[in-house]
Homo-oligomer: A and B are copies of this chain.
Amino acid sequence: MATALLLAHGPVRPRLAASLTDFVYQRGGKIVYHEQHVDHESSLYFTRLEWDLAEFRVPLDDLDRVFGEAVGREAGLRWRIHLTGRPQRIAVFVSRLPHCLYDIAARCQSGEWPAEIALVVGNHPDLEPVAGTFGIGFLHTPVRPATKQEDERRQLAALRERGVELVVLARYMQVLSAGFIAEYPDAIINIHHAFLPAFPGAKPYHAARKRGVKIVGATSHYVTADLDEGPIIDQDVIRVGHQHTTEDLVRMGRDLERIVLARAVWMHLQRKVIVHEGRTVIFG
């Protein structure tokens, strides 16, 4: 079933929901999902509306314009319309730690996710064999201070060439430039190996062990120009104790990182995330 999927948000208004569903019904669409959220503190309405395109009478190329004229503009909405039904194309950026890459590659190869890895990019060559295991191309860009600008140019060219829509930083130990980030707004997902805002920056497991915390966490978030400050998509934690060494935390943390990153990418692929003022609204 081919469907269209609207993500939108704007000020609360009487009959706004009805005008959205009417837009679909009156043009022959059949609604499959309609999720809504009202933030009563800010009087904002958020929605995710999916409809069957089988008898829908608007040409898809024209859909965004038609929706804007019929509803979106007058209602003061910000929106995006996605068409479902083909695999989304992901680039996975890595350094030396393979666990998140393995996890993502398995989910794509097995068909668990409606996505395919178009390219693995590494600032070290170590994980080229892992990409090879899954038959995926690998681009090595050292990203040293002297080469960073040129390396990012090469990375972006490779992403464009392969039609990449989503960049996943799978324990990629480099900071992207603001210019790179601007090319993929709300479409770069990072996994931070701590429970943000606790322990931002490097070596969070060492810091957690030193502080004697009883719980450690991981955080997946969209990447923005402010390091470790992007909108949080998911977080999770595990209990730890005095008996765990730093090495134990690192090991136990790997499973958290895998899961918390995978959940965030899944939600993004399902178009279930809306970003608003540095926070996320996540549907169902």
Chain A interface residues toward B at CB < 8 A = 14-15, 17-18, 21-22, 25, 32-34, 36-41, 46, 98-99, 102-103, 106, 109-110, 112, 130, 133-134, 195-199, 211-215, 217, 231-237, 239, 241-246, 251, 254-255, 259, 262-263, 278-282, 284
In whole angstroms, how far apart are the Cα atoms of A195 and B32 in the complex? 32
Contact (A106, B102) CB under 8 Å given A17-B17, A232-B214, A245-B41: yes
Assess whether A243 is in contact with B109, with CB atoms less than 8 Å apart: no
Known: A237-B237, A259-B259. 14 other contacts (CB 8 A): A15-B21, A18-B21, A32-B40, A33-B40, A37-B242, A41-B246, A102-B110, A112-B254, A197-B211, A211-B278, A212-B232, A212-B278, A242-B279, A242-B281
- Complex Cα distance A14/B231, Å? 35
| Copies of the polypeptide in the assembly | 4
Which residues on B sit within 8 Å (CB–CB) of A214?
232-235
- What's the dominant secondary structure at chain A's contact region? mixed
Q: Which residue of B lies closest to A46 (CB)?
A: B242
Beta-carbon nearest neighbor of A135 in chain B = B133
Q: Which residues of B contact A212 (CB under 8 A)?
A: 231-232, 278-280
Instruction: Give which listed residue, B106, B195, B197, B233, contacts A99 with CB less than 8 A.
Output: B106
Residues of B within 8 A of A46 (CB): 242
Q: Which residues of B have CB within 8 Å of A40?
A: 32-33, 245
Instruction: Tell me whether B199 and A197 are in contact (CB under 8 A).
Output: yes
